[in-house]
């Protein structure tokens, strides 16, 4: 078995301060035994304005945030799923919300660009979000083989599209997020547990959690969930982390006893 951790932050507009906080929490998670750590969406920057991320964008393969992720992975000998960071895309007026994965040698092994963009007026509040104003969507899901199992990566709003996950064939899903307080209270745990149960996989869900300097409030409640939908650990608000063991033997027992994945009769794109 291997221990994983989901880091929770309440990031602000100062990249350097956010990176210091992220490293502190990664170090604590590693001290607790984590071999895989996942950071939340926008961990390095929650700007005062939506377009601030464009000013902070990095070229793919080079930049201070990418250097940070590589260095902490190597320094602490831990796999890091790097939340999301702004990477230059095709449109100079937008960025890709890229989730980069680094192995315990500090080598980048994968990149996922957020596919589903949060263009929503949140019910019950005055909050309006238009991620498409500043973000280019990705097009492809990501699944990679790791020492911990077959790992799928998605980001925040992706969580609401169950068909997106059906073809991944993953054993672990990591979903860095920045769920709003309103939508999180209504749907965060419900959706996470549903994805775990539907796909009979572990779910590692690092979330932003708390009050941000830009006036936004995020839900927190970062958690790790097992393939039967059981919440193994949860951190409600503020900075911290949750951790739990990834037990692939248990996963196989659950899948063997309840082989719903092999009983499917309808498939995405009729495949």
- Residues known to be catalytic: 41, 114, 156
Compute the distance between CA of residue 169 and CA of residue 81 in angstroms, rounded to an integer.
Answer: 19
Helix (H), strand (E) at residue 243: strand 240-246
**Nearest one of 163, 14, 154, 30 to 81, comparing CA atoms:** 154
Instruction: Name the token pair of 94.
Output: 């937008």
SS (H, E, C) 129-175: EEHHHCEECCCCCEEEEECCEEEEECCHHHHHCHHHHCCCCCCEEEC
Q: Could you count the other beta carbons within 10 Å of the beta carbon of residue 241?
A: 22
What is d(CA 49, CA 236) in angstroms, rounded to the nearest whole number?
Answer: 26
For residue 66, give the 3-state DSSP assignment.
helix
DSSP state for residue 251 in the 8-state scheme: H
Angle among Cα 18, 21, 24 to the nearest 5 degrees reads 150
Longest dimension (CA), the chain: 51
């Amino acid at each position: 078995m291997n221990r994983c951790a989901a880091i929770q932050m309440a990031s602000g507009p100062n990249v350097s301060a956010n990176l210091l906080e992220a490293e502190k929490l990664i170090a604590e998670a590693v001290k607790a035994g984590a071999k895989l750590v996942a950071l939340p969406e926008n961990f390095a920057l929650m700007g005062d304005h939506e377009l601030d991320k464009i000013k902070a964008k990095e070229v793919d393969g080079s930049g201070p945030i990418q250097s940070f992720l590589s260095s902490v992975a190597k320094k602490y000998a831990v796999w890091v799923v790097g939340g999301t960071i702004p990477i230059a895309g095709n449109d100079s007026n937008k960025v890709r919300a890229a989730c980069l994965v680094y192995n315990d040698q500090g080598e980048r092994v994968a990149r996922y660009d957020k596919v589903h963009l949060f263009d929503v007026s949140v019910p019950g509040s005055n909050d309006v979000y238009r991620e498409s104003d500043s973000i280019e969507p990705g097009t492809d899901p990501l699944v990679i083989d790791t020492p911990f199992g077959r790992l799928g990566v998605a980001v925040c709003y992706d969580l609401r599209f169950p068909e997106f996950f059906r073809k991944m064939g993953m054993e672990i899903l990591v979903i860095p997020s920045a769920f709003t307080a309103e939508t999180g209270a209504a749907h965060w745990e419900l959706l996470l547990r549903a994805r775990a149960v539907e796909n009979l996989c572990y779910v590692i869900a690092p979330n932003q959690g708390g009050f941000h300097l830009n006036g936004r409030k995020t839900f927190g409640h970062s958690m790790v969930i097992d393939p039967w939908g059981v919440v193994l650990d949860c951190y409600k608000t503020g900075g911290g982390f949750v951790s739990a063991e990834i037990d692939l033997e248990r996963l196989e027992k659950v899948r063997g006893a309840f082989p719903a994945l092999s009983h499917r009769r309808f498939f995405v794109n009729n495949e």
